Structure 1
Amino acid sequence: MSIQTLEFQQVTFHYPDQSIDLFSALSLSIGPGWTAVIGANGGGKSTLLKLACSMLEPLSGTILHSASCIYVPQRTDELPFSYGNFATSYDALACKLHGQLGIERDFLDRWGSLSHGERKRAQIAWALYEESDLLCIDEPTNHLDSDAMHQILNSLRSYRGIGLLVSHDREVLDALCSNTIQVLAPYVQKLSCSPSQAIQEIKKQRIAMETVYQEQGKELKRIEKEKQRRKDLARVQDVRNTKRHLDVKDHDAKARIDGFRVSGGDKVAGKLSRQLDSRMSGNLAAKSSLFNSLSEQRALDLTKSVGGITLQSFPHGGKILLDAKPAILSIAPGRRLFLPHLTLGNNQRVGIRGPNGIGKSTLIRHLLPAFSRKSIRYWYLEQELDGQESLASYRAFQQLDAQAKGSIVSTLVRLGSNGQLFLGSALPSPGELRKLLIAQALEQELSLLVLDEPTNHLDLPSRLCLEQELKSFTGALLLVSHDQPFLDALCTTWWDLSYKEGNIDSLLVMH
């Protein structure tokens, strides 16, 4: 494996339908090892990775890298292009990766029936098998339970090339990455430290810069005040040194004024006032430059608070939303999920837990018709939308009238999105589309929320904002997540799925 530096040299890029540059004259140097790429949703992280891998071409500038590049996308819809070679190879590396990441050989034939977590593990295993010089991975821990996340982490530690890793999971990033690139187009900043340290460093820089900016403003006000005082003094001297109102015979007064003019004393106050012009001009230029730098630091600061959103609750008249008889569901060929008698109260908050592929999403889809039959006002957020569904969702948004569209974009902004970049995109990132679906749901009055991995693709500020608003929702909640702190903050009842002892069937236990 030939290691070299990845170089961005004065790179400018925007998508064909955008009127503003995502990146402008970007210069960046990235060496071997894992580098974290962090930032808010829709800020250009995935675009940066695709440029690095030559999946996108810059409008100007140069990107220098190895010819051997692999990009692992956020989405898991498509089977990787050479996955068949990995699936049918039995060399040492292929066997190691299959075992290390729990990959079955028949994943190749049943990709469509795999859970997204299983597909994600397979994507990573395939990418590592390719042994590229440059490996760019976009959100490797989406859909993964804790055990699978640590399997991925251990596998990625063995990579020795140049690695770019986009993730909102700080545990994974901090464990792998000693360098960080923070991105919110057009701003890009590289720091030689872990992501958690970088987040705090940028916060410190922002706070320090705000202090300097405030002091700069105070200094300008002081100069303006002094300039005005000197102007007023010059005006008084002008009045005193005019002969216009003197008696024509008052020769002594006229002589004093002539002497004062000859000495230049009549111009002193005016000169002193004008001397401040250059100081003021310099301070204004410094403040303007500082404002631009401060705007960048504020944009990149992930710790800044995100504005609140409001979920509209509409409590259902009945106390029981669900009363389902025991059932057996087919999960995959030869695998079943055994369900007990299930009930759901009109304000009950249920967390659904279990490892990848055990049947959590299948359970959710099994229950949805029961809610529809009872005419319950509910909203279902799927774990993942494929590319066509995502495009259809965004096009439906584009067809809305200006008022409805404006309301939704306002919510997106409060969730941390850049409204201008969102509206200017041909197809927003998965994180931005997730926010779009949430924002559209906020326009409805709901009695039940059914959310399958709602934090997938969401950046940290958006996750915190969503968590806060779900706490205030007064209806019922069915929530699937591998984010245990997120579940703990919101749920009081648990439906746990686990494998039956000694076989591949699974069962649900309520507590």
Structure 2
Amino acid sequence: MQPTTLTINNITFTYPNTPEPLFENIDATFPTGWTAILGDNGIGKTTLTAIIRGSWKPDTGTIAPNPHRMIIGHCPQDTTIAPANLEDFTADWTPEAIAIRNDLKLCDDWPYRYSTLSGGERKRLQIACALASRPDVLILDEPTNHVDAQTRMHIIAAMRRHHGIGIVISHDTALIDATCSRCIILTRRHIGSRNVTVAETYPGGYTQTAAAMAMRNTADESALDAARRETKRLEIVKTQRYATVQRLDSARQSGRHINPKDHDARAALKYGRPTIGAASTRQYTQLDGRLAAARRHAEGLTTAAKRYDGNIWLDIEPSHRREILRLETGRITFDNPTDQPTHNPTSTTHKTSRNVTAADTSAYCQATYANNHIRLMPPDIANAEQSVLIGLMFPTISIGPRDHIAITGPNGTGKSTLLRAMLECATDVPRLVIAQNTTDDDAVRAVQQLHALPSGTRSQVLGAYAQLNADPDRLLAGGRPSPGELRKLLLCLALPERPQLIIMDEPTNHLDLSSKKTLARLLAQYPGALIVVSHDDWFLDLAGLSTNHQ
């Protein structure tokens, strides 16, 4: 019987060799339908779903039902990981499997050549295989990384086909609004003198959740401000009362305020039973309890942890060369044995396992270059999903030391391939290149590079890393950077080298929404040459790479 609810209770998890838990005492409920898990990079979203899947064991806590007694479909972030059931899906032509293929617009040959597919094509095939496993619980981790707008709509249609428990980790606000009825936010809250990770549940999609969170944060700040004001007021009153008690006590000891005719008072003073100032003393003593209660109340209130605005100083001068990259007119072929590439020094052959014939020679994508925008389009956009694309035709591309270039186009048209060809023709200038996908080895090398830096340079890198709302302390303590954190770290590690050329392929992959905005603002002020491949029009616009979409 398919479960209708999945519950996690009191989940605490600590990475090996790290001093503090990643999160503590997390509770959450996932009913039938889609729930989004949101939160900053590195806060533990993917780790939490690994615990839910039973892949990792928590320090404490329970999961019900037992994950090992359910069928759990999983689509990972990394598109290089082929689905475990890929061969089964390839042979599955049941009506349900055909419907999944139709929803995601899969080509029949894709399962046979997974390694040659674009990132967006692989992502669709990963999702298809996860759906085809007929899971009780379906977990999608960043399903719209690498994908264009049309592919996003195909993924939304496929997600709606799943009628069990669905969990999606995503920073794609449009996807969440289109599919999710509730959101669970992993967020850092400041409690007393420390920051802790908590899970908060909100009804609705991203837009409704963001509005509720903003109201919550405003109310929390107001409550904390009021509590602090009350504590300060009581501290002032206590100081004033203390001065009064001291004054009265001094007067009582001297007896100068006692009426000469008040024989009882004078006798009390003489025989050690003073009465003057007793009421004030009692009031002063009572203030201690009120002040302690006010302080406990203020310390118990939680507020959102401090966030940074990504204000990173770029001490970088552009190259003095007139031209730092030039790619002559030509074409790139996709392992076409019957059609040789044009003979010019910069033409590149990109090898894949596609089998094509001479009849396919017209199926070239076309790149246009105007107004700092390189746009790639298949030969017939109306039939792009089923076209056999054998290569890319491109005009002469010349990039100067201050040019900022956007490269756009549907999935599978050769954007990353063109980027590699351009990089081969770049002059010898300091550069930073961040690819679509990063690996565990990339993370290990980046952390080793960080620790090998001189202390002053390391402090500079970690300061920039913190400005991107990442946690330097966790990184230094041996924490493994998430894919989003790794992208931030790679960028910050390059800044001391003063790169004069930055090339980024899908830079918003894996990044949380706040980090995307911060990165866009940073790139907008970058003084050197910049080349960015992206499907996110809003990001390109914010980064000053407006593509003038019609």
**Length-normalised TM-score, structure 2:** 0.83
- Describe how 1:21-420 pairs up with structure 2 within 5 A: 21-65=21-65, 67-184=70-187, 186-243=197-254, 256-259=265-268, 264-290=275-301, 293-294=302-303, 297-298=304-305, 306-331=309-334, 332=352, 333=354, 334=356, 335-371=390-426, 374-420=427-473
RCO comparison, higher one (Cα < 8 Å, 6+) = 1
**Residue matched to 1:474:** 527
Deviations 1:409-434 (A, max 9, x none): 22111101122333345532111111
**What stretches of structure 1 of length at least 5 have no aligned partner?**
497-510
Deviations 1:149-170 (A, max 9, x none): 1100111011111111111110
**Residue matched to 1:461:** 514
Instruction: Provide the secondary structure at the position in 1 that maps to 2:425.
Output: helix
Shift of 1:178: 1.1
**Residue matched to 2:371:** none
Contact persistence 1:305–1:461 (CA under 8 A): no
Contact persistence 1:353–1:495 (CA under 8 A): no
The residue identity in structure 1 corresponding to 2:267 is D
For residues 128 and 244 of structure 1, the distance between their equivalents in structure 2, rounded to whole angstroms, comes to: 91
Shift of 1:495: 12
Shift of 1:29: 1.8
The residue identity in structure 1 corresponding to 2:266 is I
For residues 72 and 545 of structure 2, the distance between their equivalents in structure 1, rounded to whole angstroms, comes to: 46
Shift of 1:439: 1.0
Shift of 1:493: 7.9
Matched, 1:487 2:498: no
For residues 453 and 134 of structure 1, the distance between their equivalents in structure 2, rounded to whole angstroms, comes to: 29
Contact persistence 2:501–2:530 (CA under 8 A): yes
Shift of 1:187: 1.5
The residue identity in structure 1 corresponding to 2:178 is A
**What stretches of structure 2 of length at least 5 have no aligned partner?**
188-195, 335-351, 357-389
* CA root-mean-square deviation: 2.5
Contact persistence 1:77–1:386 (CA under 8 A): no
Deviations 1:192-230 (A, max 9, x none): 222222222122111111112111112122212222222
For residues 251 and 94 of structure 1, the distance between their equivalents in structure 2, rounded to whole angstroms, comes to: 105
CA distance change for structure 1 residues 492 and 406 in 2, over 3 Å: closer, same or farther?
closer
For residues 528 and 25 of structure 2, the distance between their equivalents in structure 1, rounded to whole angstroms, comes to: 50
**Residue matched to 1:430:** 483
Sequence identity, in percent?
Answer: 29
Shift of 1:255: 5.8
Deviations 1:226-281 (A, max 9, x none): 222222111111221224899xxx98687643357757334222111111111111
Shift of 1:490: 3.5
For residues 101 and 484 of structure 2, the distance between their equivalents in structure 1, rounded to whole angstroms, comes to: 29
Contact persistence 1:8–1:26 (CA under 8 A): yes
The residue identity in structure 2 corresponding to 1:275 is Q
CA distance change for structure 1 residues 153 and 312 in 2, over 3 Å: closer, same or farther?
farther
For residues 475 and 429 of structure 2, the distance between their equivalents in structure 1, rounded to whole angstroms, comes to: 32
For residues 200 and 310 of structure 2, the distance between their equivalents in structure 1, rounded to whole angstroms, comes to: 25
CA distance change for structure 1 residues 208 and 494 in 2, over 3 Å: closer, same or farther?
closer
The residue identity in structure 1 corresponding to 2:288 is D
User: Which has the larger displacement, 418-427 or 339-348?
Assistant: 418-427
CA distance change for structure 1 residues 354 and 235 in 2, over 3 Å: closer, same or farther?
same
User: Which has the larger displacement, 34-43 or 65-74?
Assistant: 65-74
Instruction: Provide the secondary structure at the position in 2 that maps to 1:474.
Output: coil
For residues 68 and 492 of structure 1, the distance between their equivalents in structure 2, rounded to whole angstroms, comes to: 44
Contact persistence 1:42–1:422 (CA under 8 A): no
Instruction: Provide the secondary structure at the position in 1 that maps to 2:463.
Output: helix
**Length-normalised TM-score, structure 1:** 0.89
Shift of 1:491: 5.0
Aligned length: 485
Shift of 1:33: 0.5
